[in-house]
Amino acid sequence: MNLEPQPKPVSGCRAVLPTFELTRYIEERFSARVASIEPMKTKAGGKGFGYGALHRIVLEGTPERALVLHRGGSCGFGHDTLADRASSVLLAYETDNELPAHVRAIDVGAIDREGRLTSLEGTRDFFVLTEYAEGVPYFLELQRASTRERPLLPELDHLDALASYLARIHADRGSSAEAYVRRTRDTFGGSEGIAGLLDSYDGRDLTGFASPSILVDIERRCVGWRARLKACSRRLCRVHGDFHPWNILFDGPALSLVDRSRGEWGEAADDVAALTTNFLYFALLARGRFAGSMRALWTRFFLRYEEATDDADLGLMLPPFFVWRALVLASPVWYPGVPTAVRRTLFRFIDRVLDVDRFDPLAIDSLVDRAAA
């Protein structure tokens, strides 16, 4: 569903705001007549950039009362999407009144497609209502398959369907270099990204698999990867953003997905790593090594995906996304019951994959086996 207004942007904002609608909102909200509405400058005193647009609204009365409407703009610096702009204004509404001498936030609201303003005063939380999808979560299928030497035919069919699906959505290319840089920045520095995951290890018992110095080293080494990835904006494509087995359902051959995350556009390697790291994970849980049906699914996925996409540069992108997903799977917060030996192998994988210039899925043993050290 597209929540973005259809009219073209005005002053860096995404919704057209008719003066009569602004007048209606103010007069209904404050039971006072509007005397004047004037745009305010956001680029004054040598400033060459500003977020959004401001309108000064004067109400009739004695004394006159003046208000300022702040509108979010789609202008980079984390203000790119509807969700970004909602976060910005809600944060202002929550915090402005807690700071002495700051102008008071009086209301917070939304602008719809027709430019109508609606107050959100009193809002305490948000929700999204979705369809219900029938099906079996894919992680249950992987759990069962991980104990066998070879995948069953339905499991191969599902694997092929996932490779085909990702190839299809990744073929839809975007053109915004800024969107790609933002997505890679969030991958490394976001609260749900690598930095946020590393922070979640602080204060935890890392005995037997990691240490504070190891976490610092991972973060330091990821900085170089960020510089490499953000130069590859030509790869921007449509993504799911959290394509792991808990978000994948199969009802027979029918595929359904839930919990798309972190935006519409990104890097194909994100989805690929989110799925395939779990083949390693479930093999380690079941066998203590990367073998059996999970290894077969791993090899088959990369073969099928490469055949469908001819993405020769995927291996150049994968390492930091494997780091991100392995940090989740090894996390005592996210997966408290994982054996220490599995966490240790995942951290071995993280350490070694960060040194790989081009990831080769057929060379995975050298990245996870203790003997390969």
Give me the mean pLDDT over the 333-351 stretch.
97
Shared-domain flag, residues 93 and 228: no
Per-residue tokens: 281: 């994970």
Dump pLDDT digits (tens) for 220-253: 999 999 999 989 999 999 999 999 999 999 999 9
Which residue, 119, 146, 171, sits at the end of a domain?
119
358 has pLDDT over 60:
yes
- Which residue range is the domain that position 95 belongs to? 19-119
What per-residue confidence (pLDDT) applies to 262?
A: 86
**Which has the higher per-residue pLDDT, 52 or 116?**
116
Shared-domain flag, residues 193 and 316: yes
What per-residue confidence (pLDDT) applies to 203?
A: 94
Shared-domain flag, residues 114 and 146: no
Give me the mean pLDDT over the 4-32 stretch.
69
What per-residue confidence (pLDDT) applies to 249?
A: 98
CA 161/CA 94 separation, integer angstroms: 45
Say if 127 falls within a structural domain. no
What per-residue confidence (pLDDT) applies to 219?
A: 96
Say if 167 falls within a structural domain. yes
Say if 129 falls within a structural domain. no
Count: domains in the chain: 2
Dump pLDDT digits (tens) for 146-165: 999 999 999 999 999 999 99
Omega of the bond prior to 63 within 30 degrees of 0, cis?
A: yes
Q: What is the pTM of this model?
A: 0.86
Shared-domain flag, residues 170 and 248: yes
CA 292/CA 147 separation, integer angstroms: 8
Indicate the average pLDDT of the chain.
90
CA 328/CA 315 separation, integer angstroms: 21
The neighbouring-strand residues paired with 217 are none
Dump pLDDT digits (tens) for 110-128: 988 888 999 998 888 888 8
Say if 40 falls within a structural domain. yes
Shared-domain flag, residues 82 and 170: no
52 has pLDDT over 90:
no
Say if 128 falls within a structural domain. no
Shared-domain flag, residues 84 and 114: yes
Residue that the structure tokens 């909200």 belong to: 29
293 has pLDDT over 90:
yes
Give me the mean pLDDT over the 339-356 stretch.
98
What per-residue confidence (pLDDT) applies to 46?
A: 43
73 has pLDDT over 50:
yes
**Which has the higher per-residue pLDDT, 5 or 285?**
285
What per-residue confidence (pLDDT) applies to 47?
A: 42
Q: Tell me the pairing of strands 237-238 and 265-266.
A: antiparallel
Please report, for residues 1, 19, 30, 327, the alpha-carbon distance to residue 13 in angstroms, rounded to integers and kept in the order given.
Answer: 20, 15, 25, 37
209: confidence class by pLDDT, cuts 50, 70, 90: very high
3-state secondary structure labels for all residues of 196-210: HHHHHCCCCCCCCCC
What does the angle CA 162 – CA 237 – CA 328 come to, to the nearest 5 degrees? 60
Shared-domain flag, residues 142 and 108: no
Which residue spans within the chain are E strands per DSSP?
34-40, 53-59, 65-71, 109-111, 117-119, 136-137, 237-238, 248-251, 254-257, 265-266
Shared-domain flag, residues 231 and 352: yes
Asked if 74 and 83 count as a contact pair (C-beta separation under 8 A), the reply is no
Query: What is the domain-level CATH number for residue 326?
Result: 3.90.1200.10
